[in-house]
Amino acid sequence: MRIAFVSFETAHHRATETNERLRTVCELLAEHGHDVHWYCAGFWAGEESTFDADGITYHAVSNGPEARSSFLLRLPFVLAAASPDIVHASAQPPSQVVAANWGATLARAPLVLEWYGDGGVTDTRWTRFATGRPDRIVTPSELVGTWVRELGADGDIVETMPNPIDCDLIRDVEPDEEVDVIYARRLDEGANLESLLLGLAELRDRDWSANVVGDGPERDAYEQLTRDLRIEDRVTFLGDLDLEERIAAYRGAHVFAQTADHCVFPTEMLWAIAAGCVGIVEYHADSSAHELVEGWDRGFRTTSEDELAEAILAAGDLEHREYDEAFADYDRSAVANRYLESYRTLRDERGLL
């Protein structure tokens, strides 16, 4: 299948969650042998019109990040000439959705819109207009799906697709030393690590240890908080770790705590609970993390530091695991197949198969 991805900006321009998500989808489909093309602003050196990386062929519809108007004007004709089977566009910026829609119409291909929602979904004339263009809207969680529906999108075309994990990689990585609780996220203003630290402080009279993975501008403040709470000897700040190091840490840990204020999809939590951790989520209105633990017998949803502390105690009664096969449906192959099935359904509805 020939798939045309559309995003003026790529992860090579700026490593945002939205751009990284679209690159991941491209790589998944390329791994499955499909012909994957990304139409964007050029970001590579030299005068070549295309650039190949990780199974993806990037096409420079315009030159340089300042050439947005040129990108929007040229895109429909570039897509028509490419004759893709599917046009798959990012919702950011929403103005490119209109151009992608015209291109998909000229190419007689269904239009899929990837609406990741990092940073929220802004209610503007452009975003409302974008909801009515695609044949399918893909979101990472029900939370973002709700935001998109509230803008006016037809609920029947909104589909949830999670961020994928690599289950084989989890099984291949050796577990690190055992620890009772682990937390992982960039330590910035949205980390809300204080909720976990306050909950752990309620358990001073218990025997426990905790690791914090990640770095950021609030790290010093959080380290100071552990000293103020007199738990600094039990909490270890590990800093940034690469993926395999994080997996090793998760396989050694018993509980993963998710307390961030904002999260459109809890990717690190998914890696951790697939690696055997019990999942504890502090509920927040702008976080979808609770969706992963609803109806799961090794997950807890809390709303306060006291409840979080109680959940950590209750989790101690559950067996320690180093892998949980319940999350096989989140494997890279499984997620890729869900995208492909969605594409085939859309083409079948158009009578294109």
DSSP string of 66-91, one letter each residue = T-HHHHHHHHHHHHHHH--SEEEEES
- CB-CB contact of 183 with 259 (8 Å): yes
Residue 39 has pLDDT above 90, yes or no: yes
pLDDT value of position 327: 96
pLDDT value of position 85: 97
Amino acid at 350: R
**Residues above pLDDT 90, as percent of the chain:** 88
pLDDT value of position 203: 96
pLDDT tens for residues 224-275? 999 999 999 999 999 999 999 999 999 999 999 999 999 999 999 999 999 9
**Residues above pLDDT 70, as percent of the chain:** 99
Residue 66 has pLDDT above 70, yes or no: no
Average pLDDT over residues 40-54: 91
pLDDT tens for residues 106-142? 999 999 999 999 888 888 888 888 888 899 999 999 9
pLDDT value of position 65: 59
Q: Which residues are 279's β-sheet partners?
A: 256, 299
Measured distance CA(118)–CA(184) in Å, rounded: 18
pLDDT tens for residues 165-192? 999 999 999 999 999 999 999 999 999 9
pLDDT tens for residues 210-222? 999 999 999 999 9
pLDDT value of position 148: 94
Residues contacting residue 271 through CB under 8 Å, at least 6 positions apart:
165, 170, 243, 246, 247, 250
Cβ neighbours around 325 below 10 Å, total: 10
Nearest to 208 by CA among 319, 293, 323, 309: 309
DSSP string of 128-153, one letter each residue = HHHTTS-SEEEESSHHHHHHHHHTT-
* Residue 56, H or E segment: strand 56-63
Which range, of 53-67, 151-165, 325-339, averages the lowest pLDDT? 53-67
pLDDT band with cut points at 50, 70 and 90 for residue 307: very high
Residue 46 has pLDDT above 90, yes or no: no
Average pLDDT over residues 2-13: 95
* Average pLDDT across the chain, whole number: 95
pTM: 0.95
pLDDT value of position 353: 65
Nearest to 252 by CA among 352, 155, 178: 178
Residue 349 has pLDDT above 90, yes or no: no
pLDDT tens for residues 317-327? 999 999 999 99
